[in-house]
Amino acid sequence: MQERAKQRIFILGSGGRLGAALMKEWKELYHLKLVALSRKELDFSQPEAALEVFKKYELTEKDFIINCAAMTHVDQCEEEPDLAMKVNATTPRLLAQLAADTGTRFLHVSTDYVFDGKLERPYQETDQPHPISHYGASKLAGEQAVLESSPHHFATRVSWVFGPERPSFIDQIVERALTNDQVAAIDDKNSSPSYTKDLAEWFQVFLKPEIAGGIYHLCNSGTCSWREYGEYALQVAARHGMPLRTTSVVPLKLSEMKNFIAQRPQHSALDIKKFTTLYEKPLRSWQEAVEEHVRSKL
């Protein structure tokens, strides 16, 4: 296919854990032309300047934008709430409005942290968000602004993102178990891990023009605590020959985490039924995804 005829996919935050996974996994979709924009090209802390830069791409309705850029450090957002709001809400709003003006669809990646974590079942898209941190509040403001810009835009909430492009919790726990006889993790905080490789496959669904805009929850199926998630990763690593000093994880309580600045939601698993109706196959379990990730690093 001629370069000019290809659909342009703008990946904002292309150097992050999810953005880099999309760049890698989608590079062989030859009918697409990926346009990677990292912080260097598009600085979300400068909303007006970012808008001016983005205007130069002369969007058309054939293009598609995926926003993976975000200030994701939860405690840093608590300390710098104005910056968090600029990066996670103001700039996404301006870019989503620009996209709406040209009929370009905009997919904004959001988070389970828009919820307060008090519900004892997985959150559905229709549940009322109620963030308990500045990170969560800024992400909620971002998704609301994007969805207000156009009924065709998307807010996809993901949780506990892991993948090969940037180390996350499970990589750190495996690393620690290589040199420590004891490792610990919180046992009374639950959610659903999301593997970047799977997200990259599922996100392709949103390129279909017939998919209705709105909120979608996306993560691997099943829920677990941080302790169970970490312990499973250790067991996979040990089964495949990693010389770990322990394969069990000592339970901690969320209330014991005195070094956390921001509050974290306790139960923030996401209900994925809405997305599952669009995707023809079941979403694989978090255990299968962790197994593949850990094995890929051996």
- Contact residues toward ligand NAP (CB under 6 A) are 13, 15-19, 39, 42-45, 68-72, 87, 109, 111-112, 139, 158-161, 166
Q: Which of 88, 287 has the CB closer to ligand NAP? A: 88
Q: How far is the CB of 22 from ligand NAP (least distance, A)?
A: 9
Q: Which of 14, 244 has the CB closer to ligand NAP? A: 14
Q: How far is the CB of 135 from ligand NAP (least distance, A)?
A: 8
Q: Which of 122, 244 has the CB closer to ligand NAP? A: 122
Q: Which of 72, 263 has the CB closer to ligand NAP? A: 72
Q: Determine contact, residues 33/8, Cβ cutoff 8 Å.
A: yes
| Nearest partner of 230 among 254, 245, 251, 199, judged by Cα | 251
Q: How far is the CB of 160 from ligand NAP (least distance, A)?
A: 5
DSSP bridge pairs for 194: 161
DSSP code string of 65-93: EEE------HHHHHH-HHHHHIIIIIHHH
Three-class SS of residue 39? coil
Q: How far is the CB of 131 from ligand NAP (least distance, A)?
A: 12
DSSP code string of 111-166: EGGGS-S--SSPBPTTSPP--SSHHHHHHHHHHHHHHHH-TT-EEEEE-SEE-TTS
* φ/ψ of residue 156, rounded to 5: -105, 115
Q: Which of 39, 274 has the CB closer to ligand NAP? A: 39
Q: How far is the CB of 2 from ligand NAP (least distance, A)?
A: 30
